[in-house]
Structure formats: structure tokens, C-alpha cells
Amino acid sequence: MDMRDMNSTVVLMQAGYLTVREITGSGKRKEYHLKIPNNEVMDSIRLEMLGRMMIPPGTDDPLSYLNQKYLQFLDAFGARDEEKCEQLLTSIFGGIVQRGTGIRNEFFFQSLLQLLLEFGNKWSFPEQFSDIGRADLAVQTLNDDWVIIEIKHEKADADQEAPSVASLADARDSDGNIVVGKKSEYVLGRLAKNIDMAFKQIEEKNYVKKFIGGNAEVYAGAVAIYGMSDVMVKFRKVVWESNSAI
């Protein structure tokens, strides 16, 4: 048999680079959830995917660009530095817009954020279920803390995408502070509203409950994206009470 005629998934499973993580459902509704058990292969695939999505066309040193943006974002996330996270995600998402690839909806940004956070942290799990819902992302940091993330993406109004409206990156000074008047109050308002909605959803659906316990700290994280690259990021440390977790 010609190897070129074989299904790539079958070849990967036979070679041991792809295995079945779990099987859910039954009959015609049975679903196979796959994983890549080799960490080196997984890291290589992640870097390739990040490179394809993140590096703007014409970049002189793609690897240095990727490492700089990526490592800075991991450091900012680990420190729960909201402003730095906003700056870097705005830059990263803006670079993806330049590449003009694919549909950018909430699932797209969720997948990209998971990919970014899988390096440099112990675990990054999508779609984590609670009793009455599921969080977009649960991240376990290297010091065993948990960050439970809800992402809200809102398509920009056509009237608000005029060239006179500065991007979030352009609306900050050298210290990262928003310069009043350079950013549309409308856009900032939409971002803030979606941040509130994300925190409310985390609280009402009790996403953090399963992560409470032991010595680990737990944080709720809200990420709001307006249009293609305007970003707001907020973190709240979880204080467990009987009726509320934030």
C-alpha cells in the first residue's frame, strides 16, 4: 500500500503519536477524544501552530518575535498583570488580523488562549464542567494555583471601526496607561460590560467550586474582546463562601 493513500490519523495512531484519551457517548453518538502523549511532539506542534497564527508577514526573525511575545505574555499571566496581558494580547491578536486567516469568533479566541497558556503552565483544560455549566478554560499554574477563565467576544459595530478610532494599543502611553480621549469610550464601555458578564457567569454557574480546596489559590479570570484585537483582562482572587465564590 502506498503510504500517501493512508489516512494520516491512522498512521499517527499506529506510530503511537496519537492515542485515545477517552470515549464518550454510545452507538452512533460515540465520540473519541484523542491526545498526543509525547510531550516533545506536542510542544513542536503547538509552536508550529502559534507561529502560523502569531507571526506577522515579513517578520525578519520569526522565532525571536514568537519567543518575545509569548514569554512576555506567560510572565504577565503568571503575575496576574492585567495591563500587560491586555497589551500583549492586543498585539498578538492584531498580528493575527494582519495575517487574515480564518473565522475569528469566541471559540477561535478561546482556542488561541488555551494554546498560548499550555506552555509555561502545568495544565490548560478547555470546557471545564460545573454542576450547571462549563467554564471556557481552566489553567493550573506551575505553583499549583488555578485560574478559571471566561471569555466574551463581541463583534465590533461597523460605525465603531472607523480609522479615527484608535486601537487599544495606540490608546496607551509608554507606561501602559490608557490615554483619555484616544480610545472610544464606547469600546471601553463594551469591554467593561463584557468583563462584568464574564465574572457574573463564573459566579452564578459556580465554575470555581471543583477547584477549591488544599493550599492552592484560585482566581477567576475574565477576558473581553471587542472586534478583532481590542482586549480587556481582569483577575479576581476567589474567596470561598457558602453562597458565593468570588
pLDDT score at 84: 92
Select from 246, 179, 186 the least CA-distant residue to 211. 246
CA-based R_g, the chain, Å = 20
The 10s digit of each residue's pLDDT in 188-230 is 889 999 999 999 999 998 888 888 877 789 999 999 999 877 8
pLDDT score at 61: 74
C-alpha cell at 234: 481582569
C-alpha cell at 229: 484585537
Instruction: Write down the mean pLDDT value for the chain.
Output: 75
pLDDT score at 152: 95
Which residue intervals of 79-184 are DSSP H helices? 82-99, 106-118
Residue 174 in this model has a pLDDT that exceeds 90: no
Instruction: Name the strand (E) or helix (H) holding 32.
Output: strand 31-35
Report d(CA 137, CA 204) in Å as an integer: 16
Share of the chain above pLDDT 70, in %: 63
CA 129, 21, 14 angle in degrees (round to 5)? 160
Stated pTM of the model? 0.69
**Residue that wins the pLDDT comparison between 110 and 60:** 110
pLDDT score at 148: 94
DSSP-derived 3-state class of residue 76:
helix
Task: Determine the longest span between alpha carbons in the chain, in angstroms.
Answer: 66
pLDDT tier, 184 (very low <50, low <70, confident <90, very high otherwise):
confident
**Average pLDDT of the segment spanning 14-36:** 77
Report d(CA 77, CA 221) in Å as an integer: 10
Cell 465603531 belongs to residue: 160
Residue 2 in this model has a pLDDT that exceeds 80: no
Q: Which of 123-127, 181-185, 191-195, 225-229 has the lowest mean pLDDT?
A: 181-185
Report d(CA 56, CA 100) in Å as an integer: 10
Report d(CA 145, CA 169) in Å as an integer: 29
pLDDT score at 128: 59
Cα atoms in the 13 Å half-sphere on the side-chain side of 206: 11
Axis crossing angle, helix 62-78 with helix 39-54, rounded to the nearest 10: 110
Cα of 141 vs its chain's centroid, Å: 14
Query: Among positive and negative, which fits the CA dihedral 117, 111, 91, 172?
Result: negative
The 10s digit of each residue's pLDDT in 157-172 is 655 543 333 444 455 5
**Residue that wins the pLDDT comparison between 102 and 96:** 96
DSSP-derived 3-state class of residue 170:
coil
The 10s digit of each residue's pLDDT in 42-90 is 666 666 666 666 666 677 776 676 667 778 888 899 999 999 999 888 8
Residue 34 in this model has a pLDDT that exceeds 80: no
